[in-house]
Amino acid sequence: MIEPVKLEYKIRGSDFINAGEASSGTKKALNRLGVSPAAVKRAAIAMYEAEINAVIHADGGEAEVFIYSDHVIIRIIDQGPGIPDVSLAMQEGWSTAPDIAREMGFGAGMGLPNIKKHSDDMSIETEIGKGTTVTITVRFQV
Partner 1 sequence: MKLSECVDVISANVLVTGEDMDLDVHVACGADLMSDVMAFSCSTNQMMLTGLVNPQTIRTAEMMDVKVVVFVRGKVPDRGMLDLAQEKGICVLSTPLPMFSACGILYQNGVKGKGE
Interface residues with partner 1 (CB under 8 A)?
16-17, 19-20, 23-24, 27, 37-38, 41-42, 44-45, 48-49, 52, 103-106, 108, 110-111, 114, 117-118
* Rounded least distance, CB 63 to partner 1, Å: 14
Taking the least distance from each CB to partner 1, the nearer of 80 and 106 is: 106
Taking the least distance from each CB to partner 1, the nearer of 106 and 140 is: 106
Spatial strand order of the sheet with 131-139 comes to 5-12, 60-67, 71-78, 131-139, 121-127
Taking the least distance from each CB to partner 1, the nearer of 41 and 125 is: 41
CB atoms within 10 A of CB 130: 12
Sign of CA dihedral 60, 34, 135, 93: positive
d(CA 93, CA 108): 6
* Rounded least distance, CB 35 to partner 1, Å: 13
Nearest to 40 by CA among 52, 19, 25, 58: 25
Taking the least distance from each CB to partner 1, the nearer of 98 and 128 is: 98
* Rounded least distance, CB 22 to partner 1, Å: 11
